[in-house]
Structure formats: C-alpha cells, structure tokens
Structure 1
C-alpha cells in the first residue's frame, strides 16, 4: 500500500540521500526510483550533487511507483579547510536563487578536471580527462568519482576506494582543490527555497573535536536543523555517537543510504537500520513538504 500522510511515523522506511547519473551516480533517476521502491522504500529523496535537474523526473517516477517523495540536493561547502556536504530537503527546486547558487557552485569543475588530468599524466596516466568524460551523465558535474571509474576500468587500481587512496585525496597526484560554496550561502539557498538543511554523514570528515563543535554551531546559527545519523557512510558506532550528538544539540535526525551504484555502493537503498526511538526524524518535521502518491480508485 502506498504511504499516506496519516501513516508517516518514525519507523517509516525513508531513504533521503542517494544519487543518479545526473551527478555521480550510474543509474538514471527513474531507475533509482524503481530500485528504491523494489527495496521497500516508502519515502524517498534524490540528492544529486549541486544539481536539481533530476528532481522532477525522480518525483514523477517515485509517485508512479507508490513512494512518497521529498525534493533533495547535496551541496558541497568549504569548512575548516575541508569539503562538507549539506543535504537540502523539501524545497522548491525551481527557486531562482537556489538554481543560481548551484550553478555557481558547479562552475569551474571542467577546469579543475583538466588540472586533475594533467597531474595524472605526470605520473604516467594519460587520457584521464577524456576517459572520465565517458562516465559523466552531466558534463557540468565531472568529479573525482568519474576519474576513479576511468582508473578502475583501465586497470590502474582494483576499485574506487583504492583510486581515492592513491590519487584523488589531498597530497596525492590527481587531487585539485575546488572552491565550494560557503556554509552560510548553502543554508540560505535551501531555507529561502522553503527547505530544511541536514549535515550529511558527519563522521566522515575527520574533524577534530573543536572543528566538529564549530561546524555544528555554525550550522545551527545559520538555521540548520538536522543531521544524518544512520547513513551508508557510518559504522554502528558512528550512528550511536551521532545519536547522542543530535540529542545534545537538539537536531532532527535523518537517514539515507548515500547510494551511487549497484557495483560501488556498500549500502543498498532502503536497507539501513531504523533511527533510535529517542530521536525526532527529519521527515516528521517535513510532512507539509512531502509529495504523496495519488489514491487510486478502487
């Protein structure tokens, strides 16, 4: 049975973080929607990187498959010298300020990609830019993941994690810094478009305790309200720790697989454990922004 507004509850199988070929996933939005529905997802959001071009397609496919839907995006921001991801949920994806902000954030990716390819050529890996482009669904969003797929395909590494360890992280050949959005700007775009902001996979950044405290407090100061607690990037211990952090800072809790590809993702859509009963799920605060599938006549 499709999810109805009255059925929404803390145990709803919500997957509010995943990607399609519109950014760095390998499947089209419609295919990701079908896969999510087949995995028992009841409430779904597509959160492509710095891009909302797949949201309308994802919404139509989700509703046709009987899933409730939230608009989504994952915005890259700079904080304390690192890239942090902020998920936006439940916004108007046609908002002009949001679209302009995302376009600005995407800008410069091609030049960055060419610089990455030049560095890789210096260590004997040639044709990386053209090779990465073969894996790109949206050329405006060419990323390290696309380079990683090229390097695996051509036998330079066994898998994507090895590529990142050897080539695409700070200090390694192939890593080029990109100027991302400011935290305050990303939250403003999300909020003024009617959405709610979430810190994505917070255990992944390797911040010191002081940096982590600074991120959370800056996030809250600019209107941020939620954090991903259960995610494909977190271990069970990470989820326990961020349950306590969410409670301490009064943040809503989110849940998402961070699914990119059947071959690459370690967590399947909809397969995560439930949030702790002590937490307030972010989707309960977004009920007015959820699109529910139509009721079919009997």
Structure 2
C-alpha cells in the first residue's frame, strides 16, 4: 500500500460508492492522496473534497476522458481514455466535458434502441432510473446491469460479450474528443494528461507502442502503470516506452466498487527506481 490512488470512480459515473463513501473507504485503506476520475464528468470532485475536510487525505481534481486516436497507415479510429489530474483553471475542460456529456446521453439512447431490436424490449427507462434520470451519466456498465436485472444475461460481462462491445449488435462508438484536442484542453486547464491503462484497449503490442509514442509527441505528461494483475512482460514493455520517451508515471487502481469486486481501492503498482511520479508535480496542496 503506497497511499496514493489516482484513478477511481464513484456512482456519479459507473462506480457503486457515493463520493462520500469513496473518501471514507479510502481513509480506511490508508490512502493519503486520492483522485476521483469519473467518466467525462467532474461533478463529484467538490463532493469528495467536502468529505475530505474531516479526514487526513489529499484530494486531487480528476476526470477520465473518452477520446479517439488513429494510425495514418490504417486510418482506423481507436478509443482511448485520458485521465486529467490537478487542474488549476478547469473552465476549458468543463466546457469540453459539457459536450462529452451530450454525446454520452445520445449514445445511451442509440445503444438501447439497438438492444430493442435484439431483445424485443425497450430498457432505456430502466437504465435511466439507475442514474437518477441524468442521461449524461449513463455508461455501458449501467446498461449491462439492467440486462442482468431483466434476466437477459446472467452477468455483466455476458452483456458486453453478446451485445455491447465493439463488433457486437448494440455497440455504439463513443465519438468524443481527439487525443490531440484532449491533451491540449487539459493543458489549457493547467492540468496533467495521463494515458490511462495503456494495455487494456485490446490492441496489439505494436499499436500500444505506437499509442504511447503518439501520446508523447502530443505532449502528454504521464503513463499509468499496468495493474499488478497484468503479466510482467506487459509491465516491462510499458516501462521501456516510458523511459524511451521520458514520460512520468501515474498509479491508480481504477476502482469501481461492487461492479468490479476484484479491483481493490489503493491496490496500485509500484514505480521502478528512477521513474518519476506525476504526483510529485501536483500544485493542489
């Protein structure tokens, strides 16, 4: 336990704990520095800060942004998540997130429409109820949970495998910000751009290396280290790329709560000797 977790989620997006409960759980776990990085929203940041006032824990502003990148050789577009941390002037990013929220809300409707053709029933209102009627908070996790509740599938992963992941009948691409625009807006907001879980996008090793190189060329700041559950060879590849492009590192659990019970809050990878943590540059305290 290092006491730092810079990638977590609350029920403001697809986590299960409230921001208040997340902070209290983090304190119990011995975490001293926490970033709430909900998908395309910073609505929970002030809530965690309020709870943290009563505890010995430092809160870093954060958000996980859905973005896109492509390789000129193939022109195929890929999704990628960029974690933004420690914004000092968040207004440019908040403006961009307002657009992302509209895209997320429309995407949810499109997915549910496609699902209706697959399963013969409209589950949109059921999904909407999970997020207190706020459509811009809907993620595929909420849709998968509804499919489980409706007994269409037996577990959330089955919902992705049958309907929701790329190539399946109800997949709808999140057509969000480009990688270049994402990094630029984060920097305009005086924050740091972190490449989240680089080896979890179902990419070939060649494409992972290309992505990290592109991220570096676009002036990204740090790469999130692979989780402790990933193979040592995967960690070794990422470590070599970090060194090659002189990037800093970030550590986060990607905690979601009961949605992903195998991921534990505060269970983060240990940086190698010589790797510089992005948290060493934070200005929020």
The TM-score normalised by the length of structure 1 is: 0.86
Query: 1:94-133 alignment to 2 at 5 Å?
Result: 95-133=90-128
Pair 1:187 & 2:183 matched: yes
Alpha-carbon distance between aligned partners in 1 of 2:6 and 2:234, rounded to the nearest angstrom: 18
By how many angstroms is 1:222 displaced?
2.3
Q: How far does the alpha carbon of each residue in 1:163-195 deviate from its partner, in whole angstroms, 9 at most, with x for none?
A: 111110122122112311011111112111111
Equivalence for 1:13 = 3
Q: How far does the alpha carbon of each residue in 1:180-213 deviate from its partner, in whole angstroms, 9 at most, with x for none?
A: 1011111112111111111000001132344333
Alpha-carbon distance between aligned partners in 2 of 1:231 and 1:290, rounded to the nearest angstrom: 26
Secondary structure, counterpart of 2:257 in structure 1: coil
Alpha-carbon distance between aligned partners in 1 of 2:49 and 2:129, rounded to the nearest angstrom: 27
Pair 1:38 & 2:32 matched: no
Alpha-carbon distance between aligned partners in 2 of 1:232 and 1:266, rounded to the nearest angstrom: 12
Q: How far does the alpha carbon of each residue in 1:227-284 deviate from its partner, in whole angstroms, 9 at most, with x for none?
A: 0114377455433332222122211111111111234242111123422223211111
Pair 1:175 & 2:165 matched: no
Would the alpha carbon gap of residues 238 and 84 (structure 1) be closer, same or farther in structure 2, given more than 3 Å must change? same
Secondary structure, counterpart of 2:25 in structure 1: helix
Kindly indicate whether the alpha-carbon contact (under 8 Å) linking 1:201 and 1:233 is maintained by their aligned counterparts in 2.
Answer: no
Q: Which structure 1 segments of 5+ residues have no match?
A: 1-10, 292-298
- 1:247 corresponds to which of 243, 247, 255: 243
Root-mean-square deviation (CA), in Å?
2.0
Would the alpha carbon gap of residues 113 and 273 (structure 1) be closer, same or farther in structure 2, given more than 3 Å must change? closer
Alpha-carbon distance between aligned partners in 2 of 1:148 and 1:88, rounded to the nearest angstrom: 26
By how many angstroms is 1:125 displaced?
4.6
Equivalence for 1:75 = 65
Would the alpha carbon gap of residues 55 and 235 (structure 1) be closer, same or farther in structure 2, given more than 3 Å must change? farther
Pair 1:153 & 2:143 matched: no
Q: How far does the alpha carbon of each residue in 1:73-104 deviate from its partner, in whole angstroms, 9 at most, with x for none?
A: 11110112221000011103x63211111111
Count of equivalent residues: 278
Alpha-carbon distance between aligned partners in 2 of 1:183 and 1:273, rounded to the nearest angstrom: 25
By how many angstroms is 1:107 displaced?
1.6
Equivalence for 1:62 = 52
Would the alpha carbon gap of residues 69 and 232 (structure 1) be closer, same or farther in structure 2, given more than 3 Å must change? farther
